[in-house]
């Protein structure tokens, strides 16, 4: 390991010590032979310092590169409210979302395995997670409360019932 590090350092020292004796292509060729990335970069820096008549200060501002992205059409407005951070990003996200909400139920549907999808009166659609084993019965509910659960999950409680269902926002 030491032999590998000593050889590039010696090469660097010889390349930067005698810049007047060697031509620029020879110095660059010597740097090109170095296999270690940092050692090669140090060699190139040494050649550049030896050739450059005036060295730029370290804290000098770099030349700004201009990059103009193609203009985009106005993005659609992102859905807001509880659970919106899990929806695909359409526009900039709201800075803060509430911890819970209570909303009326517009409709409830069930899949073949008994998992429900519930549409709220505010337009949000929530689906029961596959890992949740609790089963909701019925199709008419006055209101539900959705709150943040542990580790970024969401819990749905039907107002007036003592059951909690794990859900994720679909829309």
| pLDDT single digits (tens) 81-119 | 777 777 776 555 555 667 889 999 999 999 999 999 999
* Residue 106 included in any domain: yes
Based on the structure, what is the number of domains in the chain? 2
Q: What is the pLDDT of residue 150?
A: 83
Are 100 and 40 within one domain?
A: no
* Residue 73 included in any domain: no
Q: What is the pLDDT of residue 65?
A: 45
pLDDT interval class at 13 (50, 70, 90):
low
Over residues 133-155, the pLDDT tens digits come to 889 988 888 899 999 988 888 99
Are 100 and 155 within one domain?
A: yes
Beta strands in the chain (DSSP E): 100-110, 116-120, 125-128, 143-148, 154-158, 164-169
Which range marks the domain in which residue 120 is found? Answer: 84-88+96-169
């Amino acid at each position: 390991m030491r032999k590998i590090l000593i050889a590039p350092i010696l090469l660097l020292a010889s390349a930067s010590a005698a810049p007047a004796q060697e031509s620029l292509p020879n110095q660059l060729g010597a740097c090109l032979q170095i296999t270690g990335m940092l050692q090669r970069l140090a060699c190139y820096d040494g050649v550049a310092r030896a050739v450059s008549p005036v060295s730029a200060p370290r804290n000098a501002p770099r030349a700004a590169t201009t990059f103009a992205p193609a203009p985009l059409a106005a993005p659609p407005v992102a859905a807001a409210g509880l659970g919106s951070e899990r929806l695909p990003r359409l526009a900039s996200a709201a800075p803060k979302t509430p911890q819970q909400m209570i909303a009326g139920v517009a409709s409830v549907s069930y899949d073949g395995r008994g998992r429900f999808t519930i549409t709220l009166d505010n337009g949000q659609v929530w689906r029961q997670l596959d890992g949740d084993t609790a089963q909701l019965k019925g199709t008419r509910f006055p209101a539900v409360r959705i709150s943040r659960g542990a580790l970024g999950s969401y819990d749905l409680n039907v107002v007036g019932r003592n059951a909690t269902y794990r859900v994720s926002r679909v829309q």
